[in-house]
Amino acid sequence: MEIDKAIRESNDRRLKSKYNNAIYVIKRAFALYAFEEVAFSFNGGKDSTVLLHLLRAGYFLHKETPNYLSEGDTNCEMKCPIRTIYFVSPCAFPEIDSFTYETAATYDLQLENFRIDFKSGLEALLKEKPIRAIFLGTRIGDPNAVGQEQFSPSSPGWPPFMRVNPILDWSYRDVWAFILTCKVRYCSLYDQGYTSIGSIYDTVPNALLGTSDSSTSKENFRPAYLLSDGRLERAGRAKKCSRQDSGSDPVINESRTLTVSVIAVGDEILFGTVEDQLGSSLCRKLRSIGWTVSHTAVVRNDIDSVAEEVEQRKSSNDVVFMYGGVGPLHSDVSVAGVAKAFGVRLAPDEEFEEYLRHLTSDQYTGDRNEMAQLPEGITELLHHEKLAVPLIKCQNVIILSATNVIELDKQWDCLIELTSSSGLLVSTAPFLTKSLTTSLSDVETAQPLSKLCLEFPDLSIGCFRKSRVGPLIVNFVGKDQARIELAVEALCKKFNHGDFSEVNCG
């Protein structure tokens, strides 16, 4: 069978692994259900094209022992006469319709057209003929992929059937590696720069594949398989804003109280092996844009410890910044802890996997990079051209990968630049600070300072000593310079002239 032969002769170890896993799922489905009880949802796109040829190979391997190598019949065009569902839409590209009908004829697909919505079409199909399982070309990253496994029952309220997703963990790169390796025909739109095809109203060629023709002033486009970063697959799809997008995110909603919790993950901090410099640096940076740090914590390199702390903080109005515990080591549990706190699973994120693939190159040879497992359905990647790998945002939790102050400075600067275009971190009036020093004892200053705090509840008035025998420093923090000056004046009036002097605490 030519598909199976092409894959086995390929040097792409990742593709072979993806292929073998997909074939296993298909053969398992054929073992569980009679051939007459399964169907295939085909839409003419690249994902369902890949699935079609996987079904052909899986059906062949399920039905008989391959003997084409011994016979020398390397051009066997094995067909798979599976019932195929196609939902006809007036909004579909003509090229998609043409490709679908030609493909169905070439491979003897039992094509059944429906001109109604997907749910109604399935209800009609299942009412007319018994269908227990439907093969779908769903991949992680698709809008409807959240919560799905390779075998997933249909959602509540839908007709009962088993969704079979053989390529659920495939990336954009995997799809095109399969198509090009097996030399299968695909819709011509992909040669015109389209990378993700929806309707004629929300799909345009991907601008990242555009090339200018100086002789005609016309923009041309390279084929879809030349898109280097799979995370940009949907760059040619119009993004529709929902009401939820425009105000429910605690990170970008200016009407919320801008308070932050900071969580550090690391046994090395708790054991005193290393000094945590990131926490204080991050707090200063947050204060510089007017945010209030309401809580800081250091937790162990333990999934449950991370999950418990995030669970407590995510239920508040705080935005949560996390650092530490990010990477390929066994102790890097931050992402898994966040997933547990939100009650979601870790699932492959093909956008993040593409970043890691470019970063690690051949250093990672497995079929799946475990670092690309991210909390499903709640993850947003924060990408900046200066960052080799994007930062991770899970609802109100932002996970920083910095391991030192220099890296933190770089990631922070990128976040601030993103703010100007996306409103990610809303900058408000920065906090202002003024510090006084005195040689008076704590006992002498305690009561007047307590009264002062009641007089100026809008200010943060703190006291500390840099050393046991050093002078007492009184720190005034607020956003109104005039109020700070009034508080300083009020404190000085409670004591003798010269008892307090201004100092720069850095």
| Domain of residue 448, CATH code | 3.30.70.260
If DSSP codes are grouped into helix, strand and coil, which group holds residue 393? Answer: strand
pLDDT band at 67 (very low <50, low <70, confident <90, very high): very low
> Does residue 359 share a domain with residue 454?
no
In a domain, 246, yes or no: no
In a domain, 427, yes or no: no
pLDDT band at 370 (very low <50, low <70, confident <90, very high): low
> Does residue 114 share a domain with residue 14?
yes
> Does residue 208 share a domain with residue 329?
no
Give the residue from 149, 173, 197 where a domain finishes.
173
How many domains, in total, are found in the chain? 4
In a domain, 245, yes or no: no
> Does residue 192 share a domain with residue 168?
no
- Interval 230-251 mean pLDDT: 55
In a domain, 361, yes or no: yes
Is pLDDT of 130 > 70? Answer: yes
In a domain, 241, yes or no: no
- Interval 32-44 mean pLDDT: 92
Sorted by sequence, the CB contacts under 8 Å of residue 371 that are 6+ apart come out as 327, 328, 352, 356
- Which residue pairs, CB below 8 angstroms and at least 24 apart, start in 450-457? 451/494, 452/487, 452/490, 452/491, 452/494, 455/487, 455/490, 456/483, 456/486, 456/487, 456/490
In a domain, 140, yes or no: yes
- What order of strands is seen across the sheet that includes strand 460-464? 460-464, 472-478, 432-438, 500-503
Query: Which of 48-52, 140-144, 392-396 is least confident?
Result: 140-144
- Interval 462-484 mean pLDDT: 89
CATH at residue 36: 3.40.50.620
- Interval 118-138 mean pLDDT: 84
Using CA atoms, how far apart are residues 145 and 381, in angstroms rounded to an integer? 17
> Does residue 202 share a domain with residue 76?
no
Is pLDDT of 314 > 80? Answer: no
> Does residue 202 share a domain with residue 154?
no
Is pLDDT of 18 > 80? Answer: yes
> Does residue 159 share a domain with residue 278?
no
CATH at residue 416: 3.40.980.10
**pTM, full prediction:** 0.55
Give the pLDDT score at 243: 36
Give the pLDDT score at 317: 65
Give the pLDDT score at 69: 39
In a domain, 13, yes or no: yes
> Does residue 305 share a domain with residue 379?
yes
In a domain, 482, yes or no: yes
Using CA atoms, how far apart are residues 165 and 149, in angstroms rounded to an integer? 7
> Does residue 27 share a domain with residue 136?
yes
Is pLDDT of 482 > 80? Answer: yes
Alpha-carbon radius of gyration of the chain: 30
pLDDT digits (tens, 9 = 90+) for 68-127: 434 444 444 567 788 898 888 888 899 999 999 999 999 988 888 887 777 787 788 777
> Does residue 262 share a domain with residue 228?
no
Bigger pLDDT: 78 or 455? 455
Q: To the nearest whole percent, how much of the chain has pLDDT over 90?
A: 44
pLDDT digits (tens, 9 = 90+) for 266-275: 999 999 999 9
Is pLDDT of 377 > 80? Answer: no
> Does residue 287 share a domain with residue 361?
yes
Domain residues for the domain of 418 are: 251-422
Give the residue from 392, 422, 452 where a domain finishes.
422
pLDDT digits (tens, 9 = 90+) for 413-432: 988 887 655 555 677 788 88
- Interval 473-499 mean pLDDT: 92
Give the residue from 128, 144, 173 where a domain finishes.
173
Q: What is the mean pLDDT of the chain?
A: 83
Residue 400 burial (10 A CB sphere; 0-12, 13-18, 19+):
buried
- Interval 30-54 mean pLDDT: 93
One-character DSSP codes across 160-180 = P-EEE-TTTT--HHHHHHHHH
pLDDT digits (tens, 9 = 90+) for 191-208: 999 999 988 888 899 988
> Does residue 259 share a domain with residue 231?
no
Using CA atoms, how far apart are residues 245 and 423, in angstroms rounded to an integer? 12
pLDDT band at 165 (very low <50, low <70, confident <90, very high): very high
